[in-house]
Amino acid sequence: MIVPDPNFRPNPERSIFVQGFIDQQLVDRVSPRIIHLLHKSREPITVYIDSRGGLVGSAEVILKLLRTTNQDGASSCHVITVAISRASSAAADLLSSGDYAIALPESSLLYHGVRTSMTDPVTAERATELTEALKISNDRYAMSLARKSEWRFLFRVFTLRGQFQNHRETTGDPGLSDLQCFTSILRKNLSPSAANVLDQALERWDRYNGLLQHFQKLVTKSRPSKPEMRAAQIEKIMLRAIINFEVLRNRTNPNWSFREGGLARVNDDFFLLNEYFQSAYSEQFKQICERWGSFVLSDADKDELSKLVEPEKSSKKLEKARPYFLPFWSFFVALCHALQEGDNELTPTDAFWLGLIDEVIGHPNLPLTRYLAEHQEDQPAPDAAPVDVPSPEQPAPANQPPLLA
């Protein structure tokens, strides 16, 4: 039996409409309505979106206002976002920022990086400044998108996880990693445009791993007597690893040199590797391992953890779960970066499978978190046999997504 949950259902009576260009005028128009809804109750607010984008700062103002608390410190309202026709650029980011993001089947979604327009002539110095500023902004928004959508993406991973072993058997390659299985299965559900984004993400993820391997080798050789290294020491090792990595990667190109483009690549690699460590050892990644770890640990691991007490138990769980989740998390970060490069036109179904939205209206066969939240077992008749409901430790029926905590 399905019992509707207002946290997953759009409500026109508590809604705002983001239509047209997103700028200060739009902020001025919707702000009174948002303030009225916040004052009236803390029930969910629906944001209907039909916009080709606009100013990122204005979209952030709207989102921050939607998440405002009150003088009593009440929790922020649950935000449901709905793409009703077009959600591009800043509007697409606003769509993915919802606690529950929905798209109508015929809507169009476009993700791309930060842009700027210039009216005055651009000098070489100004061009360099703009390039660096845009790169930093794109990196920031990629990480922001990853934080907003990481739970959606991991739900896709666990939705498809039951197919991994069958994929290995079908392809005749038992050595495929879970991430390789996931991306291969995912590709089958994507349009050509979305598959191109997937390829870019895999290329970036491959660089992550190559850089990481070189770094780990040097850390092992360079580890000082003291257990902790200063930031500058770590960065020194990072730069050495990057230089070794680039020289090895370009060994077959006789025209390659650091002077002719290689130095710029070293700079990009440095921030790429730094980004990897910031992600892998962040508090959010720890929360991922804590929340989802039980689904990937073996019975022996769980038995070992049951004998421990906090904080040793949480620390040990993180140690055991990290190797499984790290490839998926770093791949999703790479995916969010790929969405900042070029114009990426996605269908609503693409956005669903890439973890950017939660539901496509009119596609009931997609595995939705809403089904898990709204599903309640029918009460059996007095003489009826008990129904065997799969627990998180048991596989769900083939036509249902796995039950998650």
Q: What is the DSSP string of 322-362?
A: HHHHHHHHHHHHHHHHHTTSS-EEE-HHHHHHTTS-SEETT
Distance CA 2, CA 380 (A): 15
**pLDDT confidence band for 182 (50 / 70 / 90):** very high
Q: Write the pLDDT tens digit of every residue in 106-146.
A: 999 999 876 666 566 667 666 666 666 666 666 677 778 88
403 pLDDT more than 70: no
Distance CA 215, CA 222 (A): 10
Q: Write the pLDDT tens digit of every residue in 378-393.
A: 666 555 444 443 433 3
| Mean pLDDT, rounded, for 265-275 | 83
**pLDDT confidence band for 397 (50 / 70 / 90):** very low
Q: How far is CA 10 from CA 92, 108, 186, in A?
A: 18, 19, 28
**Residue 190: closest CA among 374, 382, 346, 43:** 346
| Mean pLDDT, rounded, for 353-379 | 89
Q: Do residues 40 and 57 lie in contact, with contact meaning Cβ atoms separated by under 8 Å?
A: no
Q: How far is CA 273 from the centre of its chain?
A: 18
pLDDT of residue 392: 37
pLDDT of residue 386: 46
pLDDT of residue 353: 97
pLDDT of residue 391: 38
Q: Write the pLDDT tens digit of every residue in 215-261.
A: 888 877 765 555 566 788 888 888 988 998 899 989 999 989 998 88
**Residue 368: closest CA among 79, 24, 100, 75:** 100
What are 27's two structure tokens? 């902020």
**pLDDT confidence band for 184 (50 / 70 / 90):** very high
DSSP strand pairing (344-346 vs 108-111)? antiparallel
Domain spans, the chain = 190-278
Q: Write the pLDDT tens digit of every residue in 73-94.
A: 888 999 999 999 999 999 999 9
State yes or no: cis peptide before 311, omega within 30 of 0: yes
**Residue 134: closest CA among 151, 117, 148, 119:** 117
